[in-house]
């Protein structure tokens, strides 16, 4: 009877030790998993902070570029107006030159001095009209260049925004909140599990049996 009881106790002890070892392994696994989750959350929090900083910088850059765009647009409107005005003046000069030339050069009966004066005036009108045309061409060229610069600035802003959006969209704050809630839940369950394990261990420690050997010696069997 004593031997049977001892064997039963030994089996119970082996089972308790095996269960304790298994629970310890599971606890270690959960601890490692919790550490990995915490590391991921910290990494994502750092990433969010970095993205928030990038977002603020991008917003400032966007505001500056939009201000620059508005300034360039105002300049373009002003220069376009000047270009149109210069072109009109050049055409007016050419019309005056044409009318003057028809009026004076078609009259072949004028004196030589009048003809020389007419030729001189004609050259002056021609030079003035040519200067106006050159000015209009240069203004048009500048207008095209500045318009191209403005388009490049706008495209640069669009590119920066499009480059930033996918990264921002892929980081869903709700996912982080769910992961954090899951982590807290795991910690709670793990605490309850450990308390249960400690309670079982204390109960096992309280079990002991005084066994008596055939030689007359007695010894206590229990979980230390």
pLDDT in tens, 78-117: 766 776 776 677 667 666 666 665 565 555 444 555 555 6
- Which tens digits make up the pLDDT trace of 141-160? 776 676 667 667 666 666 66
- Rounded-to-integer distance, Cα 9 and Cα 16, Å: 10
What are the distances in angstroms from CA 149 to CA 58, 62, 119?
20, 16, 45
| Whole-angstrom distance, CA of residue 179 vs CA of residue 171 | 13
Compute the distance between CA of residue 112 and CA of residue 118 in angstroms, rounded to an integer.
Answer: 10
Total structural domains in the chain?
1
- Name which residue leads in pLDDT, 75 or 197: 75
62, 161 contact by CB (below 8 A)? yes
Note the pLDDT of residue 9: 66
Tokens of 144: 């095209």
Confidence of residue 8 (pLDDT cuts 50, 70, 90): confident
Query: What pTM was computed for the model?
Result: 0.35
Can you tell me the distance from the alpha carbon of 141 to that of 134, in angstroms, rounded to the nearest whole number?
10
What pLDDT score does 20 carry? 75
Q: What is the pLDDT of residues 14-39, one digit of tens each?
A: 777 777 778 888 888 888 888 888 88
Q: Strand 208-212 relative to strand 218-222: parallel, antiparallel, unpaired?
A: antiparallel
Residue 90 has a CB neighbour count (10 Å cut-off) of 20
Report the C-alpha gap between 126 and 68 in whole angstroms.
40
The boundaries of the domain holding residue 119 are: 2-222
Rounded Cα–Cα distance for residues 144 and 137 (Å)? 11
Q: Residue for token digits 């500048």?
A: 142
Structure tokens at 158: 């669009």
Residue at token pair 């495209």 = 155
């Amino acid at each position: 009877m004593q031997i049977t009881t001892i064997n039963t106790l030994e089996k119970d002890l082996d089972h308790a030790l095996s269960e304790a070892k298994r629970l310890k392994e599971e606890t270690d696994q959960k601890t490692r998993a919790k550490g990995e989750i915490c590391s991921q959350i910290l990494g994502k929090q750092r990433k969010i902070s970095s993205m928030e900083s990038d977002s603020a910088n991008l917003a400032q850059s966007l505001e500056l570029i939009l201000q620059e765009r508005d300034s360039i647009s105002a300049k373009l409107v002003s220069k376009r107006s000047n270009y149109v005005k210069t072109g009109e003046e050049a055409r007016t000069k050419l019309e005056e030159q044409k009318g003057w030339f028809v009026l004076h050069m078609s009259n072949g009966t004028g004196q030589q001095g009048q003809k020389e004066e007419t030729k001189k005036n004609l050259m002056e009108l021609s030079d003035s009209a040519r200067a106006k045309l050159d000015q209009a061409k240069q203004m048009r060229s500048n207008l095209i260049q500045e318009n191209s610069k403005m388009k490049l600035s706008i495209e640069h802003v669009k590119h920066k925004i499009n480059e930033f959006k996918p990264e921002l969209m892929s980081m869903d704050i709700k996912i982080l909140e769910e992961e954090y809630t899951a982590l807290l839940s795991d910690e709670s369950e793990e605490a309850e599990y450990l308390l249960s394990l400690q309670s079982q261990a204390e109960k096992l420690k309280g079990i002991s049996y005084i066994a008596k050997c055939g030689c007359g010696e007695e010894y206590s069997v229990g979980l230390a």
